[in-house]
Chain A
Amino acid sequence: MASMAHGQEFNRRSLLRFGLFAGVTAVGAPLLAACGDDEPSQTGGGSPSLAVLKVGAPNAVTDAEAGNPLATSIGATLIVMRHVYDSLMVLDNGEYKYQLAESVEPNADATEWTITLRSGVTFHDGKPVTADDVVHSLRTLGAKPSNRVSVYGNVDLAKLSAVDARTVKVPLLTPRGDFKESVLVVFSPIFPAGMTEFSKPIGSGPYKLAERNGTTTRLVANEQYWGGKPTVAELQVVGILDAGARLSALKAGQIDYAVSISSTGAKTETTNSELVVVRGGPANSNALSFAMNQKLAPFNDVRVRKAVRLAVDRQALVENALLGLGSPADDVVGKTLPGYADLPARTRDLEQAKRLFAEAGITKLTLRTGELVPGMLNASRLMAQQLKEAGVELTLDEISPDAYYADLAALATFPFQAFYYVNRPAAVHLSAVTHGKAPFNVTGTSPAYQARLAAAQATADDKARADAFKALQQEFYDEGGDLLWGFQEQLDASRKGISGVRTMQSVQLFDQATGPA
């Protein structure tokens, strides 16, 4: 079983990674581009198109059917899903963008939204994409057995209606100024009205499903794609469970692109001239945290939270625990993504940390930790050394990764635990994770904070809502409970000469990829 050790990304934690992306309640800032090192590679000018591209990606063990939008969580099946279906909106290259929607407009108090569809788009079976299809899709996504029900929790699905062929009215249960970012951008693939069974998926996306078996899904280019003819004629998505196996398949030429390799694998292959290691940057990363619960002693004392944040050397943690394949974080999720408040970088201040610990009378702490993602345990050990320099003895309470999330309700009862989130727009994260009912609210935000969060979400005006969210981030930065220390980048590898692979919402897109000459 030792070779399974770096298979961590396939268990519940991967569900967390992608499931959390489907945030419940959220607000993003206005459509605002983030800085641009989050794109692994851009389309190479004049590079030839490809007849076949083979992609190896983790299998999502919960998803029996590749391309079922009701049950996709990670890896191969999610990649298939994103290529077969178009969504109403997406987060692309740090910007919220319309895809099948042409516009999405609120009424005055943001209780009803009107979606207008792009015209002239057809499904793979030749039928046009209409408002009825959108109504059916959203209702299906918002009801069981869909695993994205919570995304549509605030939508009045029963009253959802098609006004005409291209217009859909979406009434909400409570006013939400952030409907686009928190619902449509998060998850809105559109499939034909009446489609309730997904073994033969039909979408309007750049690829049609041609054939599949237990491990491989073969997709062929949709020549009529409204977004431009794909440059890869045939895409094969191969489910490969083990990160090591993905890398050896790439090296042996069985696949052209390996989604998610280990950081040790990436280090080893940096000298291999046949391969290119593709780093996802902070935009495509896990945000690693040591979460302090503000409701529980000793972290109900703001001095302790501040002292812990000041005592750690984040750069050292990134260098050692993440083998340098990441970057330091500054306590708030969302760096390089829309709506980030551009908070100053945290620096280590041992003297102040010592003073604050002394004032609060803290000499001992206990951290609940486990290897949820590779490197987390090493990071915990290193932090223990760093805290010792600040005069605090840290005891590590090691939990097996499989048991870590066993009892969701209990997560809120641990004062101090290693944790991770997906790095996504801060506003989306704050809403989905820090609101009162969220199971992953492990920092114990106060009722007052949640009231401010709800007010921010309801704000219809984009600018005012963005400001409100920046204020919340500032508050979280000053007094919140996450010691968010690093971004662990998504690491892929490709055959040399492959370019034009985009990463959209943590999913690799290959429709515009080009190959070596």
Chain B
Amino acid sequence: MTALKFLARRLLATVATLFAVSVVLFAASEVLPGDAASASLGPDATLEEVEQRRAELGVDRPWAVRFAEWAAGVVRLDLGTSTSMHQPVVDIVAEPLAATGLLVGLTAAVTVPLAMGIGLLTGLRPGGRVDRVVSAVAVVSVSIPQFVTAGLLVLVFADLIPLLPAISLPPLGGGPLDRPEILVLPVAALTLFGAAWASRIVRAAVIDADAMPHVEAARLAGLPERVVVFRHLLPAAVPPCAQTFAWLLSGLFGGTTVVEVVFNYPGLSQTLVAAVRNHDTAVLEGVGLLLAAIIVVSFVLADLVVMAVEPRLRVAAR
């Protein structure tokens, strides 16, 4: 299969997936108790006011109609207008998305090499002392809930040893990059979990690759260990690792919520929480669709990486 054909098929699948996700999101916001009308009026509104507001907002119409309208907007790259904030969803989402993107990007930049390193270190000598110690640490940090990890980091690095800010406040008139120290603890909290989890999978992939005939052959041929690892073993471990990191990236985008809340980081989670509480379907859908798109695209990228590596794999295996 050529890359082009592959891409075309994946693109179709992507559109179908995003459509399905939109339907589910729309349906989910339908079954949430209350609606945009009662949320925007507040609880001292009378029932008549709520009904009138429902008509104004158009939420009294069938949801299929509203979905069709919304979907038509999306095709024109118009995500609609927020009912609670009276602004285009694109404007509302842009800054938080960039902030969360920064957090995820930095976390990935730290986590990927770290997980590869740990995975190699433990996978090349499975059962060794290093492996046992590192594996134990990894298992523990994967199993601790993220809000506990984040809380412990605050306790240690902001409270006991006041090195870093406890919450991430960007300066007025600036973004997170204008005060980079506010990124350290959130990235650390995300990395602790991500690196521990991903390194387990890298480790397994390294063990599998290590057992492959061409790696064994390379060793028997007397090639230096460095050459064996980087030329022969690592490429074989790339496909599972690429998938893992695609998972990690998409997981990070959806999974920064806890960390963003603990550090009051100005990312997507607050936007999402607000949208759920205000029954702001447009914002909810917009954020949901963006997250879904990011996830799908990261998997497509992972597949491309795998495709790029595979021919070499086949050659090497012969």
Interface residues of chain A, those whose CB is within 8 Å of chain B, are 1-4, 7, 10-12, 15-16, 19-20, 22-24, 59, 61-62, 64, 73, 147, 149-150, 211-216, 218, 238-242, 244-245, 248-249, 251-254, 402-403, 405-409, 432, 437-440
* Interface pair B159/A12, CB less than 8 Å apart: no
Query: Which residues of the other chain, B, contact A149 by a CB distance below 8 angstroms?
Result: 49
Alpha-carbon separation in the docked complex, A19 to B40 (Å): 11
| Interface membership of chain B positions 181-194, coded 1 if the CB is closer than 8 angstroms to chain A and 0 otherwise | 00000000000000
- A61-B277 contact in complex given A12-B39, A150-B44, A432-B44, C-beta closer than 8 Å: yes
Contacting A24 at CB < 8 Å: which of B44, B165, B278? B44
Contacting B172 at CB < 8 Å: which of A62, A213, A242, A253? A213
15 contacting pairs across A/B (C-beta < 8 A): A4-B261, A7-B261, A61-B278, A62-B40, A215-B266, A216-B169, A245-B261, A245-B263, A248-B158, A253-B162, A402-B32, A402-B33, A405-B34, A439-B45, A440-B44
The 6 A-B pairs of least Cβ separation, nearest first, read: A406-B33, A252-B166, A61-B274, A3-B147, A248-B166, A19-B42
* Interface pair A252/B159, CB less than 8 Å apart: yes
Cβ of B270 under 8 Å from chain A: yes
User: Which residues of B in the span 21-55 have a Cβ within 8 Å of any Cβ on A?
Assistant: 32-34, 38-47, 49-50
What's the least CB distance linking A171 to chain B, in Å?
22
- A216-B172 contact in complex given A241-B270, A242-B261, A244-B262, C-beta closer than 8 Å: yes
Which residue from chain B places its CB closest to the CB of A216 in the assembled complex? Answer: B172
Which candidate, B81-89, B213-221, B231-239, B299-307, is the interface stretch facing chain A? Answer: B81-89
Query: Which residues of the other chain, B, contact A439 by a CB distance below 8 angstroms?
Result: 43-47
Q: A150-B44, A248-B151, A437-B46 are in contact. List 4 more A-B contacts (CB 8 A).
A: A73-B42, A150-B45, A214-B266, A249-B264
Which residue from chain A places its CB closest to the CB of B159 in the assembled complex? Answer: A251
Alpha-carbon separation in the docked complex, A64 to B85 (Å): 6
Alpha-carbon separation in the docked complex, A388 to B170 (Å): 54
Cβ of B145 under 8 Å from chain A: yes
Contacting A248 at CB < 8 Å: which of B43, B49, B167, B257? B167
* Interface pair B159/A248, CB less than 8 Å apart: yes
Cβ of B154 under 8 Å from chain A: yes
Which residue from chain A places its CB closest to the CB of B40 in the assembled complex? Answer: A62
Cβ of B273 under 8 Å from chain A: yes
Cβ of B173 under 8 Å from chain A: yes
* Interface pair A62/B278, CB less than 8 Å apart: yes
Which residue from chain A places its CB closest to the CB of B270 in the assembled complex? Answer: A241
Contacting A241 at CB < 8 Å: which of B159, B165, B174, B273? B273
What's the least CB distance linking B150 to chain A, in Å?
8
What's the least CB distance linking B8 to chain A, in Å?
39
* Interface pair A19/B264, CB less than 8 Å apart: no
* Interface pair B44/A244, CB less than 8 Å apart: no
Which residue from chain A places its CB closest to the CB of B167 in the assembled complex? Answer: A249
Cβ of B95 under 8 Å from chain A: yes
Cβ of B258 under 8 Å from chain A: yes
Contacting A252 at CB < 8 Å: which of B39, B41, B165? B165
Query: Which residues of the other chain, B, contact A23 by a CB distance below 8 angstroms?
Result: 44
What's the least CB distance linking B156 to chain A, in Å?
12
| Interface membership of chain B positions 241-272, coded 1 if the CB is closer than 8 angstroms to chain A and 0 otherwise | 00000000000000001100111101000100
Query: Which residues of the other chain, B, contact A15 by a CB distance below 8 angstroms?
Result: 42-43
What's the least CB distance linking B43 to chain A, in Å?
5
Query: Which residues of the other chain, A, contact B263 by a CB distance below 8 angstroms?
Result: 245
| Interface membership of chain B positions 129-168, coded 1 if the CB is closer than 8 angstroms to chain A and 0 otherwise | 0000000000000000101001100100011001001110
Which residue from chain A places its CB closest to the CB of B50 in the assembled complex? Answer: A408
User: Which residues of B in the span 66-113 have a Cβ within 8 Å of any Cβ on A?
Assistant: 84-87, 95-96
* Interface pair A62/B39, CB less than 8 Å apart: yes
Alpha-carbon separation in the docked complex, A374 to B212 (Å): 57
Query: Which residues of the other chain, A, contact B46 by a CB distance below 8 angstroms?
Result: 150, 437, 439
Alpha-carbon separation in the docked complex, A1 to B174 (Å): 28
Alpha-carbon separation in the docked complex, A403 to B169 (Å): 33
Alpha-carbon separation in the docked complex, A238 to B168 (Å): 11
- A15, A73, A248, A439: most-surrounded residue (chain B CB, <10 A): A248
Query: Which residues of the other chain, A, contact B258 by a CB distance below 8 angstroms?
Result: 1-3
* Interface pair A440/B43, CB less than 8 Å apart: yes
* Interface pair A254/B33, CB less than 8 Å apart: no
Which residue from chain B places its CB closest to the CB of A252 in the assembled complex? Answer: B166
Alpha-carbon separation in the docked complex, A332 to B98 (Å): 50
* Interface pair B166/A20, CB less than 8 Å apart: no
- A407-B95 contact in complex given A64-B85, A249-B264, C-beta closer than 8 Å: no
What's the least CB distance linking A432 to chain B, in Å?
7
Which residue from chain A places its CB closest to the CB of B164 in the assembled complex? Answer: A252
Alpha-carbon separation in the docked complex, A248 to B151 (Å): 9
Alpha-carbon separation in the docked complex, A15 to B85 (Å): 16
Which residue from chain B places its CB closest to the CB of A153 in the assembled complex? Answer: B46
Alpha-carbon separation in the docked complex, A267 to B254 (Å): 34
Alpha-carbon separation in the docked complex, A62 to B85 (Å): 7
Query: Which residues of the other chain, B, contact A1 by a CB distance below 8 angstroms?
Result: 257-258
- A240-B277 contact in complex given A3-B258, A12-B43, A214-B266, C-beta closer than 8 Å: no
Query: Which residues of the other chain, B, contact A12 by a CB distance below 8 angstroms?
Result: 34, 39, 43, 277
Query: Which residues of the other chain, A, contact B49 by a CB distance below 8 angstroms?
Result: 149-150
Alpha-carbon separation in the docked complex, A481 to B166 (Å): 46
What's the least CB distance linking A275 to chain B, in Å?
12
* Interface pair A19/B44, CB less than 8 Å apart: yes
* Interface pair B264/A64, CB less than 8 Å apart: no
- B43, B96, B162: most-surrounded residue (chain A CB, <10 A): B43
Alpha-carbon separation in the docked complex, A2 to B150 (Å): 12
User: Which residues of B in the span 106-131 have a Cβ within 8 Å of any Cβ on A?
Assistant: none
Query: Which residues of the other chain, A, contact B262 by a CB distance below 8 angstroms?
Result: 3, 242, 244-245
- A64-B87 contact in complex given A1-B258, A244-B262, A253-B162, C-beta closer than 8 Å: yes
* Interface pair B47/A409, CB less than 8 Å apart: yes
Query: Which residues of the other chain, B, contact A440 by a CB distance below 8 angstroms?
Result: 43-44
* Interface pair A213/B42, CB less than 8 Å apart: no
* Interface pair B274/A62, CB less than 8 Å apart: yes
Alpha-carbon separation in the docked complex, A62 to B273 (Å): 11
Query: Which residues of the other chain, B, contact A61 by a CB distance below 8 angstroms?
Result: 84, 270, 273-274, 277-278
What's the least CB distance linking B177 to chain A, in Å?
14
Query: Which residues of the other chain, B, contact A405 by a CB distance below 8 angstroms?
Result: 33-34, 43
* Interface pair B167/A240, CB less than 8 Å apart: yes
Query: Which residues of the other chain, B, contact A409 by a CB distance below 8 angstroms?
Result: 47
Query: Which residues of the other chain, A, contact B166 by a CB distance below 8 angstroms?
Result: 245, 248-249, 251-252, 254
